[in-house]
Copies of this chain bind each other. A is one copy, B any other.
Amino acid sequence: MKTETATPGAPLFTVSQVAKMAHVTVRALHHYDQRGLLIPSERSAAGYRLYSDRDLERLQQILVLRQLDFGLDAIGPLIDATAFDRRQALEAQRALLVEQRRQTNAIIRGVDAALSALTGDSPMDRTKMFDGFEDFDAAKYDAEVEEKWGETDAYKVSMRRTKNYTKDDWASIKAEEEAIQAGLAELLTTGVSPESDAAMDLAEQHRQHIDRWYYPCSPEMHVGLSDMYTADARFEEHFEKRAVGLAAYVQTAITANALQG
């Protein structure tokens, strides 16, 4: 008799199976688990890690972001913050990958320059030589691109900005998120109304947090975001784990704040 939450049609994978599929080591999966970055949704009776399809999706995100040189500290918050609109997140990642491809092309041209400097007597120009090795400078890019092509996609701009955040930045980001969520959970469990000033205040803090660290977030957008909190099973789970009814509570608080603010 299985009382487990095992959906019949859903396949589960062991560590080594996932490792082979995704071309990562078992140790890396252990590491991601320990860091809380990718916790397998199930464990066997003997404690074996069992990964679901959704775990695989998350792993893909992790690998893409890692390929884009985001640190593991950054990847967690980044996935969570953008998960409510996967489409835009994926498009932003795509844009960064294209950029990376352009850098590789630049390096190739640098090698070509070195090659032609070999035969010709051209003295190998020192500017071309190191093209493609630049680290991304968000400030420069923001101004340049936004003016040239009028890039309106908040996500793409945002994900580029986040590439410049330091480890300390991410630490405080995580701390802020924790504090806000803990505060809301506290209010919920002590019976304070989600439309109270205290709850609305935390909702506003949450909006500013998003706005400050990730992308411009108007109160209207914030409401849209909160709708997805309750619509998306992943987010619901996330909040419910902390306190029963928290997802709905947050949504109400955010909506109230937007109406009044």
Question: Chain A: residues with CB nearer than 8 A to chain B?
Answer: 21-24, 53, 56-57, 60, 63-64, 67, 86-87, 90-91, 93-94, 97-98, 100-101, 104-105, 107-108, 110-112, 114-115, 118, 123-124, 126, 129-130, 133-135
In the complex where A64-B111, A100-B104, A108-B98 touch, is A130 in contact with B21 (Cβ < 8 A)?
A: yes
Q: Contacts A104-B104, A114-B57, A129-B56; is A134 near B97 (CB within 8 Å)?
A: no
Shortest Cβ distance from A60 into chain B, in angstroms?
5
Decide: A57 near B94, CB < 8 A? Known: A23-B134, A101-B104.
no
Q: How many monomers of this chain does the complex have?
A: 2
Q: Do B94 and A111 touch across chains, with their CB atoms under 8 A apart?
A: yes
Contact among B60, B87, B126, B134 for A129, CB-based, below 8 A: B60
Closest B residue to A93 by beta carbon equals: B111
Highest count of chain B CB atoms <10 Å: which of A105, A111, A126: A111
Which of B53, B56, B114 lies in contact with A60, CB distance below 8 A? B114
Q: How far is the CA of A63 from the CA of B101 in the complex (A)?
A: 17
Cβ-defined contact, A60 with B97, below 8 A: no
Cβ-defined contact, A133 with B87, below 8 A = no
Contact B98 A63 (CB under 8 A): no
**Residues of B with C-beta under 8 A to A110:** 60, 64
Do A107 and B57 have beta carbons less than 8 Å apart? no
CB distance A94 to B118 under 8 Å? Answer: no
CA gap between A91 and B118 in the complex, in Å? 12
Contact A94 B67 (CB under 8 A): no
Determine the distance from Cα of A118 to Cα of B57 in the docked complex, in whole angstroms: 11
From B60, B126, B135, A130 is in contact (CB under 8 Å) with B60
Within 8 Å CB of A23, what residues of B? 130, 133-135
Q: Give the contacting residue for A57; candidates B53, B124, B133; CB below 8 A.
A: B124
Distance (whole angstroms) from the CB of A65 to the closest CB of chain B: 11
* A63 touching B111, Cβ below 8 Å: no
